[in-house]
Amino acid sequence: MSSPKIIPAHERLIVALDLPQVDEAKAFVATLGDAACFYKVGLELFVSGGYFEFVDWLVSRGNKVFVDLKFFDVPETVRAAVRGLRNRGITFATVHGNQAILEAAGRDKGDVRILAVTVLTSLDRGDLDDLGFQCDVEKLVLSRARRALEAGCDGVISSGLEAPALKRELGSRLLVVTPGIRPVENRPVDDQKRTVDVAQAFANGADYIVVGRPIRQAADPRAAAQAIQNTISAAFSG
């Protein structure tokens, strides 16, 4: 069930730059070299200062950028925030919220592709029960994905566990970007709960994967990223 979208294989890996300082993030990008070309820049760097200067730096190097700030506010505020991302060379941005919020983002997205958050991969069935969601995870993800499509979003953030249902129900109409990628069984200290490995994510229908700690915490991050790239190349070689 691999994605039929024409996406260069080496762009399908998005490396999460969840680091405390911009200087560290720049050094890490240099360490990875050509083993990665697409980066997710999230909240940790946002609060450290110099966020958009760093985004501009990545774009100036020819990197693709995923702004992962999960905009969640009244629709007009989200619309204005998304509008502020236009014409900066940003590829993806995340939005979280109800239909009006998603529609506001979709209305003013310009050249930025909007990804709607479905269910965070750090949540499991028990967490959803605590939050008051009575339906199962797959039904909730599908419902949110359908609404995202209606709102004008370009894709969704979804666990690889729900990717098969998304592709079965929605086909190629929405991009599926899958975080929570783990090469081995989770350790007890890991906050990601609904995970898959690289090959399974793409077999299930993911278009892109987001990988952070398995690369950053590897003894040789560049080799770890390249190993993932090799797996992706093999998945799409046929």
159-187 pLDDT, tens per residue? 888 889 999 989 889 999 999 887 644 44
Across all residues in the chain, what is the average pLDDT?
87
| pLDDT attached to residue 142 | 87
Secondary structure of residue 89 in the 3-state scheme = coil
At 136 the pLDDT is 65
Instruction: Please state which of the ranges 61-75, 116-130, 172-186, 214-228 shows the lowest mean pLDDT.
Output: 116-130
Task: Flag whether pLDDT at 226 surpasses 70.
Answer: yes
Structure confidence at residue 222 as a pLDDT band (50, 70, 90): very high
**Residue 116 — pLDDT band, cuts 50, 70, 90?**
very high
| Identity at 71, one-letter amino acid code | F
Helix (H, G, I), strand (E, B) or coil at 219: coil
Q: Which residues face 93 on adjacent strands?
A: 67, 114
The domains of the chain, with CATH numbers, are 12-236 (3.20.20.70)
Cα–Cα distance, 113 to 90 (Å, whole number)? 8
Q: Which residues are catalytic?
A: 70
Q: What percent of the chain has pLDDT over 70?
A: 84
Q: Residue range 78-100: average pLDDT?
A: 96
- pLDDT grade for 143, boundaries at 50, 70 and 90: confident
Helix, coil or strand: residue 190: coil
pLDDT of residue 237 exceeding 90, the answer is no
pLDDT band (50, 70, 90) for residue 121 = very low
CA dist., res. 26 & res. 31, Å (int): 9
Taking the C-alpha atoms of residue 230 and residue 167, their distance in angstroms, rounded to an integer, is 24
Which pLDDT belongs to residue 106? 95
Percent of the chain with pLDDT over 90: 71
pLDDT at position 180: 81
Residue 168: which region, alpha, beta or left (left: phi > 0; alpha: psi -120 to 50)?
A: alpha
pTM for this predicted structure: 0.88
* Lowest model confidence (mean pLDDT) among 66-80, 133-147, 155-169: 133-147
Give the pLDDT band (50/70/90) at residue 141.
Answer: confident
